[in-house]
Structure 1
């Protein structure tokens, strides 16, 4: 008798390697962002893509606020074309990061999602600023 876990056959090692390496091309996590911010290794722009009012209530220190619906060429003009953007929103229950990533990709801008968002940031014990 098989479980729901093993009922669908597992991918072979080569497929697993490709899949998980590809995920890291699209995502980063709170720890990696925190490490970059606190060790002078920030080589990206951290964008909080939530509404201005939520940003004002608390955000990651060093983040800029650019709600996903305001992303356009004009809003991004101050950044070079090769700038890597790392986007975050409220958390796993929010799809603002996906909306922002889609807009940035359509504008031919490099983008990664910070998985977990504000919820993940707080769960890891990191603080927000106002």
Structure 2
């Protein structure tokens, strides 16, 4: 390896073996999805998941992904999920990559034994992809 390569932060640590990389990236999709896939699934009319906006009700009212349900991450408890079958997949999102609310919500759902993924990018990613936000009051739960 040349000195230039050794000093390069990208190449200084070799890439994983292809089989290890494949397993890693495949496993990551068990935990996350992206804005395009969520949009496409919602547009199908039968997405197969419940999209949870885990930000505050006030932020939800200012703008949210169309079809999302408002349930702030700190309020995710079993009694709020009673209307959903135990095998319901939830997809959480928050403000964006600078926010860990989606992760906090996912942790709470996982602790309750619920299947969960995070929509990476959150509101920031949604807008970056050119999708519109809905503006209205949060759905009562």
Contiguous gaps of at least 5 residues in structure 2: 136-141
Contiguous gaps of at least 5 residues in structure 1: none
1:5 to 6, 10, 17: 10
Aligned-partner Cα distance in 1 for 2:67–2:73: 18
Give deviations 1:66-95, integer Å, cap 9, x for gaps. 000000110111100000000000000000
1:41 deviates by 3.2
Q: Following superposition of structure 1 onto structure 2, how do residues 43-82 of structure 1 map, counting pairs within 5 Å?
A: 43-82=48-87
1:9 deviates by 1.4
Aligned-partner Cα distance in 1 for 2:66–2:90: 15
Q: Which residue of 1 aligns with 2:138?
A: none
Q: TM-score, normalised by structure 2?
A: 0.91
Aligned-partner Cα distance in 2 for 1:44–1:10: 34
Matched, 1:28 2:15: no
Q: Following superposition of structure 1 onto structure 2, how do residues 80-119 of structure 1 map, counting pairs within 5 Å?
A: 80-119=85-124
Query: Structure 1 stretches (4+) deviating beyond 4 angstroms?
Result: none
Aligned-partner Cα distance in 2 for 1:59–1:102: 21
